[in-house]
Structure 1
C-alpha cells in the first residue's frame, strides 16, 4: 500500500510540475495542429482531384516555389523576432529583480543604522534589529515566490498534511518557498501559517 501511495504521489507531482508548461504551449500546439490538419486536407484533395487541379494555379511549380519561400521567410522572421523579444524581456526582468533585491538590502541597512539613535534599551534595539532582518529575508522570499507564478504550492502543501513533512519538498511546486531564509524558526508556527495562507503574501 505504501509503494502504491508513493507511486501515485510521484505521478501526481509530475503532473503538477508539467501542468504549467502545458498551459504555455497549449496555444502553440493548437495552432500547429490546425496547420497540420489543413496540410493533410490539401494533400488529400490534391491526390483525389489531381486531374481537376492540373489546370489551376496549383500546378505551376514556380508559383509553389515562390509561395514556399515566402511562407518560410515570414515564419523565420516571426520566430527570430519573438525569440529576441522574449530574450530581451527575460534579461529586463532579471535586472529588475536584482535591482529590487539591492533596494531591499539598502533599505535594511538604513533602518538598522537609524537604530543607533533610538531611545530604547540596547536589548530591545538588538531584538528589533534581529526581527527586522528576518522579516526582510522572509519578504524577499515571498516576493520571489510570488513572481514565480506557481499557484498550486499551497494546495499541494495542504494535500501533504497527512504525510511526513520530511518527505515533502515544496521546490517541486514553487521554488520561491524554498529560498534560504534567515532563521525562520524564530517566528511562531501561527505567524508563519498566517503568512502562507494569506492571498497577498507580500502585502
Structure 2
C-alpha cells in the first residue's frame, strides 16, 4: 500500500515524539475509550454482545498501540483495517442473533460490492477513502436492520450515523489543514479532537448494543 498523502498513524495531527510515547495525548484518549468499553463488556447481556465488545476493545487497544509506537510501513493501518472488518462481522452476528433475521441475497450482494470497493480503495487510495468505504459497510448494516430494532435503538442510530459522518469530515479536515495548523501551533495535539469524538461514538455504540 502506498502512502498517498495521508496514512494512519503517521499523518495524524499530533506531532510525534522521537523517544518514548509517539503521540501521548491520542494514546491517553484511546486507553480511556478502552476502559469504557471494558466497563460495558462486564455488563454485556449475551454472548453475541460480548463478542462485539471484545472486537471493539481489541480494535481500540491496537489503535492505542499505533499511537504509542509508530512502525514503519503499512502494517499498522492494514491490521487496523482488518480489525474493523472483524467489528463489522461482530455487528452482523449480533444483529442476526438479536432479530433472528438473516440478510437477504440482495443485501448480501450489496455488502460484497462494498467489500470489493473497500479492497480496491485500500490498494489504490489513501486512508480517508477506505475509512469511508468501511463506514458504509457499518451504516448499511444499521439501515438494513433498522426496522427490526426497538424505538430506543432506532433513535440512537441517528446519533451513531451523525457521529460517523462528523468523524469522517474531521479526518478530511485533518488531511487538508494539519500541516498549516502545526506550523502555527506545533505542540498542539489537533488529532485529539477526532479521538474525543471517537470516544463519544463508541460510548453511544456500546450503550446501544451491550444489552442485546
Q: TM-score, normalised by structure 1?
A: 0.27
Ranked by relative contact order (alpha carbons within 8 Å, sequence separation 6 or more), the top structure is 2
Question: Rg bigger for which structure?
Answer: 1
Q: TM-score, normalised by structure 2?
A: 0.26
